[in-house]
Amino acid sequence: MALQCGIVGLPNVGKSTLFNCLSNAKAQAANFPFCTIEPNVGVITVPDERLNKLAELVHPQRILPTTVEIVDIAGLVKGASKGEGLGNKFLANIRETDAIIHVLRCFDDDNVTHVDGSINPVRDKEIIDSELQLKDLETVEQRIQKVYKQAQTGDAHAKTLHNVLIQYKAALEEGKSARSVEFESLDEIDAAKDLFLLTNKPVMYVCNVDEDSASKGNKHVEAVREAVKDEHAEILIVAAKTESEIAELETYEERQMFLADVGLEESGVSRLIKSAYSLLDLQTYFTAGEVEVRAWTFHKGWKAPQCAGVIHTDFEKGFIRAEVIKYEDFIKYGSETAVREAGKMGVEGKEYLVQDGDIMHFRFNV
């Protein structure tokens, strides 16, 4: 399930530093714009304490966490929608991702040049938003021209799509993102999804701060909170430079001591990965046995056969039933056998909606 979050932002806001913390694939981090031209892709392990607790009970031969892909996309600049800088290529890279992690510089440092000469994360956000909106407006206007004639012939789908495009056009012309438009009918919602607009992707704002602001934020973070209060978007505070220092420490104990010293219970990178996973609307189920304890990724709202297909397509094709243990019950009783004896194992059919944290065993026949 290769879903990707793209890290975007202006040059020199800390995107590549953050990506380096997230991934073993080292993006070049330098004090000049455009040091990252080809997008770097990192396959990132999703931290999940539940996996470790299951392993402590089962004692498997191996533990396999789930992953998410993060793409480091080169810094956008004003005029990118018209091809300025390397705009067309960067926008194409964003279009290929499923969600956006928007990094905003919220720290003062005279040694790190800002492309616009001053620190103003709200202005930076508006520059990126504007470029993405302008590109979406161009896309929408082109589609309106193509769809209008079809709509005039009475084609029902074309009429629905035309109505969706008109609403998007109005919002984008007002300087609003496509995600601000809400549709009532399922037909409109489906038509909107098929457009793959840049500003319709789910977004999370990451405020890159200095070490002293890592736990509580600062005036720049507060300005961002105020600017995005109506967007229903998550805001994370991360000190990328500090996170890079933590990443260099060799042992878990050393990293925990470092975090305690700066007043944090969990690293910003760990919080970011979890949030990126959630941003993609992903959840986790587990399989647990002597050979391995493993986390599997599925889309929220998937039914048991679809989740079985994540392991192997034959599991979905020949699905018979799923034996389900709730995570809390497994931890409480300590083993699959004890859960069975307590009558806490569920036997579910094809309509079962798998829940985050379920421990699954699929029965199938091919």
CA distances from 275 to 260, 281, 340 (A): 22, 10, 34
Does the annotation flag 303 for ligand binding?
no
- Domains belonging to the chain, first-starting first, are 4-49+63-119+202-279 (3.40.50.300), 130-199 (1.10.150.300), 301-364 (3.10.20.30)
Enumerate residues 6+ apart whose C-beta is below 8 A from 223.
Answer: 121, 122
Does the annotation flag 147 for ligand binding?
no
The tens-digit pLDDT sequence of the chain (366 residues) is: 567 899 998 888 888 888 888 865 444 444 444 344 456 788 888 889 999 999 999 999 999 998 888 888 876 666 655 655 445 667 788 888 999 999 999 998 877 666 666 889 999 999 999 989 998 999 999 999 989 888 888 888 899 999 999 999 999 999 999 988 989 899 999 889 889 899 999 999 999 999 889 888 899 999 999 999 888 788 999 998 888 888 788 777 888 888 888 788 888 888 888 888 888 899 999 999 999 999 999 999 999 999 999 999 999 999 999 999 999 999 999 999 999 999 999 999 999 999 999 999 999 997
Question: Quick check: 221 and 237 in contact, CB under 8 A?
Answer: yes
Does the annotation flag 15 for ligand binding?
yes
Does the annotation flag 13 for ligand binding?
yes
Does the annotation flag 88 for ligand binding?
no
Does the annotation flag 17 for ligand binding?
yes
Question: Quick check: 45 and 67 in contact, CB under 8 A?
Answer: yes
Pairing state between β 234-238 and 99-105? unpaired
CA 194 to chain centre: 19
pTM to 2 decimals? 0.82
Alpha helices in the chain (DSSP H): 15-22, 49-58, 87-95, 121-152, 156-173, 186-193, 219-227, 240-247, 252-261, 268-279, 304-311, 313-317, 327-333, 336-341
Complete DSSP assignment for 244-267? HHHHT--SHHHHHHHHHHTT-SS-
Q: Which residue has the tokens 């004003």?
A: 78
